[in-house]
Structure 1
Amino acid sequence: MQHIPIRTNTSFSIRDINDYMSGQNMIQSLHRHDFYYLLVLEKGAGTHSIDFTDYTITDHSIFLLRPGQVHAIHLHSGSTGYLLQFNQSFDPSPLLHTAAQQNFYQLENTLAICTQIFEEFTHSKEKYEDVIKSLLHIFFIHLLRTQKPLTANDQLHTLQTLIATHITTHKQVADYAAMLHLSAYQLNAITKSALGKTCSALINDHIILEAKRQLLATKNLVNEISWALGYEDVSYFIRFFKKHTGHTPESFRQNFK
């Protein structure tokens, strides 16, 4: 069975986009990362698809991707800014999880912070990682000031992590309520308050999202994807997918491409 291409990264890195692109367009087909990806543009043009949501890249665009998300990008030459990548163990700020619930921001006057981060990383003086983490914390504060945060609830973040980890074997609200030592009623109250959705809807959303990722980023057969997601009954999986998307898995794959 084919797997979605995964790009890996260690600890922390930052690149000047202009140098990275070397005067060429940056074109990357659908893939996923096992690290956080932060693209901060002062000037930019192109398109960016993140988990099948399409964004038009403009000046002052900021993209923040969580580990596991899939994306494809076409960034035009002449774009300026920075690309930052760091793994989960780098852990720069307690605000990261909240900020990363939103993939796209548009905000001016953030480049100065990134320039400071770039200089700290380039010169690597004593305690430079601590300085970088402090600057990123300030950066995330600026991001969250532009939008009402979806939630700062630790239980919700833990739930989302558990769903991503156990979705192939656990698909019932009761499973996750037990993991969090909550009742199903309490868990639904948390998700409804924060996101306006039931826990069951969150579980279904993740199944559909992962199915879409597999359909468009691999050449795996529908039955292989069904089994990988924990559905032995392929016909049931096809009905489930069509109920939530309006398409069969195969027609979704063909129509999207």
Structure 2
Amino acid sequence: MLKEFSYKQFGNIEFSMKAFEENTFTSIADHIKILLIPKKAIIQVDFQEFKMETDALLFINPKVIIKPCETINGQLIYFNRDFYCIEIHDQEVACDGILYNNVFEIPFIALDENQSRDIQSIIQEIKSEMNNEDANTEEMLRILLKLIILKSTRIWKQQHQLSENTQHNDVQFLRKFSKLVEQHYKTHHSVADYAELLFVTPKNLSKKISLISKSTPNDIIKDRIILESKRLLAHTKMTVKEIAYSLNYEDDAYFIRFFTKHTGLSPVSFRKQF
């Protein structure tokens, strides 16, 4: 189901292997997505495979590559930036919020039974609303979408023990670091670069990041570079030298050593897998 309001698009489809094999997802590759995944489903996200221990939500920006492996009755909500990201004044629940620009982890939100029923109820309201054609339909869909993001942001904070009002600044700092890495990983490769952008010392940056992640800032930056390398190797025809240059490595031999050290495979060997 798809609704279009001028340049604004909003839709809902089933997330399943059948839909994937029919290339249903190709037309929405550039959309922002929310995925409700049922318990025991198996899904591949950016070359990693996960089996869901509970019902879960996943927030997906257009760069993330997803594939259902063993998934039945998954629900995928998708929308473009014209539909929702105009609300940039709401930093936490906009498309630059922590759920969409999260370099610390793949942002699964595990749901207990009550939370899952709550989210499924909202999705049912979305489906009902998409059958309406009145003047309020667009705004109702936006409100329901925002409700899912608000509830999920609250759950994420609780699960990461960052829900207290006194920790608001910590959440904003983490969000800002995540956004900066997403913006600059191609050109800024050192912890000192990001510490300078955030007006803190590298030591203080590491302390802040430890609130949420066992990885160091250096690991997070390098992992983001590796992820982009994998995406370009698997889904483009760029040469290894071109990929190295696009990531600001002038010496492609150094880039090959860097990639091989972090993945256990050379870039060429990794590409052959796909």
Identify whether the pair has TM-score above 0.5, normalized to the shorter chain.
Answer: yes
The correspondence of residues 19-38 of structure 1 with structure 2, limited to 5 A, is 24-27=18-21, 28=23, 33-38=29-34
Q: What is the CA-CA distance between 1:24 and the residue it aligns to?
A: 4.9
The alignment yields a C-alpha RMSD, in angstroms, of: 3.5
CA contact (8 A) 2:19 2:25 kept: no
Query: Does 2:129 match 1:120?
Result: yes
Q: Distance in 2 between matches of 1:51 and 1:121?
A: 30
Q: In the alignment, residue 265 of structure 2 is paired with which amino acid? A: H
1:208 to partner: Cα distance: 0.7
Gaps of 5+ in 1: 1-9
Alignment partner, residue 142 of structure 2: 133
Give secondary structure in 1 for the equivalent of 2:130.
helix
Deviation at 1:207, TM superposition (A): 0.6
- Secondary structure at the counterpart of residue 132 of structure 1: helix
1:22-63 C-alpha deviation (Å, 9 max, x unpaired)? x95432599794432123356996x53211111357995543
**Deviation at residue 209 of structure 1 after TM alignment:** 0.7
Deviations 1:216-239 (A, max 9, x none): 112322112111111110111111
Secondary structure at the residue paired with 2:182? Answer: helix
User: What amino acid sits opposite 1:193 in the alignment?
Assistant: L
Per the alignment, residue 14 of structure 2 pairs with: 17
Identify the residue that residue 98 of structure 1 maps to in structure 2: 98
C-alpha offsets along residues 46-98 of structure 1, whole Å, 9 cap, x if unaligned? x532111113579955432123212334577xx44542112345147734633
Determine if the alignment matches structure 1 residue 180 to structure 2 residue 176.
no
Q: Distance in 2 between matches of 1:63 and 1:162?
A: 21
1:40-79 alignment runs, 5 A limit: 40=36, 47-56=42-51, 60=55, 62-73=57-68, 79=72
Aligned mates of 1:59, 1:182 — CA distance in 2: 38
- Change in 2 beyond 3 A, CA 1:112/1:163: same
Structure 2 unmatched runs, 5+: 1-6, 163-167
CA distance in 1, matches of 2:80, 2:199: 29
Q: Which residue of 1 aligns with 2:159?
A: 148
Q: TM-score, normalised by structure 1?
A: 0.75
Counterpart in 1 of 2:165? none
Amino acid at match of 1:125: D
Q: Which has the higher contact order (CA 8 A, sep 6+)?
A: 1
- What CA distance in whole angstroms lies between the structure 2 residues aligned with 1:194 and 1:53? 21
Q: CA deviation at 1:171?
A: 1.2
Q: Percent same amino acid among aligned pairs?
A: 27
User: How far, CA to CA, are the matches of 2:145 and 2:249 in structure 1?
Assistant: 41
Cα 1:134–1:204, aligned 2, differ >3 Å: closer, same or farther? same
Question: Structure 1's 170 and 135: CA in aligned 2 closer, same or farther, altered over 3 A?
Answer: same
Q: Which whole-Å CA distance do the structure 2 matches of 1:232 and 1:54 have between them?
A: 32
Contact between 1:42 and 1:111, CA under 8 Å: does it hold in 2?
Answer: no
What is the identity, as a one-letter code, of the residue corresponding to 1:148? Answer: Q
1:128 Cα deviation from its structure 2 partner: 3.5
SS at match of 1:63: strand
Query: How far apart, CA to CA, are the structure 2 residues paired with 1:245 and 1:221?
Result: 18
Residues 43 and 59, structure 1, Cα contact 8 Å, conserved in 2: yes
Distance 2:123 2:75 in 1: 7
Shift of 1:211: 0.7
More strand by share: 1
Number of aligned residue pairs: 241
Change (3 A) 1:154 1:125: farther
Q: Which residue of 1 aligns with 2:262?
A: 244
